[in-house]
Structure 1
């Protein structure tokens, strides 16, 4: 598990998305480290965390949630804010449900607590073949994966991940949705209005199911709204963490 621990103050665990890296959040980590202890960690099988390529089971989100709770134990962190993007957000939501006494608050974007095959976005089959036959909207992701991991590893990563997602969807799609009532901390779920990977209506449904949760939708933003709406996103996150 690759992680970096910087700053001082209340702890924040920052989790990037699938195949992403904490390196892409350097600017955010730097800002948060001025007032918080920031533990930024690559998801298993992504960034500089092993194994690569990873074999994803249909329970990999829960497995990762338990892995990161164990990391917090190892670091002696008894109370933490969770900040997660996409798959990192799904893991953060599960962590908040599994260990509610530890979590001070949770902020996610591009996460909905469910896996469904997008009606207007890339299918599981297209995700599985994204290295060799990328559709137009997946070209940037395919190029990034090939450069970051090499073609052979990237091909296996995409195939294994898509197969697991298909399996999760086939059994009902639940990731954290069934555990929503167990999330007792303040929760902020952010969606991009143009997110084809994680449609806003799914994020809103989960927010409505979590007691007291807040839902925020960024108009004109897509899945990676921390890039396309960086200013608004950073201000929203700063205000949230300061409040809680």
Structure 2
């Protein structure tokens, strides 16, 4: 039995008889499970309670010994103690690396042989854009590598240089970063602008890309989208809930200025380049590709996933009926299941 623990994200992965079960941390075990008070209240164990899909309630003590407190299948009866089991912390590394003169913040989670590079969206960062994925996807099969793109998050200073070729530059820098980190082959997981970066990387460096998952992405900009962007330009009109995560990262004044510059650059692509972001690059994508899109996405119209599907050879398209632009955050369990199936060679279906 192998117990992989990532306490920073509050998740434990249990590998038992070849099956991975996920359990979540419960801060106050006694209140949640009164029937176990006599059994565990005087033990030094940190206790974890099961999600609906798990089979065990677990405890972990300070000496890295594990206790199976009960088995859900048997009406939560006390099952057995196991001491001296293999305790394997879920490998997690945060660091900085200089790439083409830019200092890039990155994070690695998991130790699987299949490496996946996570690419955030506009002004996005590792944790703001991929928290649920870093929490649940890494394990025995997958290792996730995520970055703060140049000029975003902790990959500052300098601040972001917004121009029509920013995402092309990101694609080259991301490929160089992965090479410098020692990865020769990896898959891509890209959201929104990060999805565009993923497509450019897959097209420009096909020898390094195993598979690709993109969501909320587009290869061109329409007149309709320029109007959507103009409506979103003034962050003072956003709800506090929408602003808060990015203001916490950048501060109110810089976030406002950076977002306005991003909008102006994005709209400028429509007027200066006919809206073409990476249409010509799609024919050069040869890796297996999964396109996921929210039917209710208010930012990227529904025509875009169909266009990508038609122009990326052999791609799969899955539409999430209740999904919006942030479908991987709002519906992370369903989304993560799709990604895991696709990356581990099972057909991704809903």
User: Is this a same-fold pair by TM over 0.5?
Assistant: yes
Match of 1:160 among 250, 261, 267: 261
Match of 2:306 among 192, 204, 221: 204
Q: Return 5+ residue gaps in structure 1 as ranges.
A: none
The structure where strand makes up a greater share of residues is 2
Matched-pair contact (CA < 8 Å) for 2:110–2:143: yes
Instruction: Measure the CA separation in 2 of the matches of 1:191 and 1:28.
Output: 17
Instruction: Using structure 2 for the length normalisation, give the TM-score.
Output: 0.64
Does 1:44 find its partner at 2:145?
Answer: no
Match of 1:15 among 73, 94, 119: 119
Instruction: Measure the CA separation in 1 of the matches of 2:234 and 2:136.
Output: 37
Larger RCO (CA under 8 A, 6+ residues apart): 1
Q: Return 5+ residue gaps in structure 2 as ranges.
A: 1-103
Match of 2:228 among 118, 123, 129: 123
Instruction: Measure the CA separation in 2 of the matches of 1:54 and 1:161.
Output: 9
Note the C-alpha offset of 1:233. Answer: 0.5
Note the C-alpha offset of 1:53. Answer: 3.9
Instruction: Using structure 1 for the length normalisation, give the TM-score.
Output: 0.90
Instruction: Give the match for residue 31 of structure 1.
Output: 136
The structure where helix makes up a greater share of residues is 1
Instruction: Measure the CA separation in 1 of the matches of 2:191 and 2:247.
Output: 21
| Structure 1 residue ranges (4+ consecutive) displaced by more than 6 angstroms after TM superposition | none
Instruction: Measure the CA separation in 1 of the matches of 2:330 and 2:227.
Output: 20
- Count how many residue pairs are aligned between Structure 1 and Structure 2: 239
SS across alignment from 2:323: coil
Matched-pair contact (CA < 8 Å) for 1:22–1:40: yes
Instruction: Give the match for residue 179 of structure 1.
Output: 281
Q: Which of 213-222 and 29-38 deviates more?
A: 29-38
* Cα 1:172/1:141, change in 2 over 3 Å: farther
Q: Which of 23-32 and 199-208 deviates more?
A: 23-32
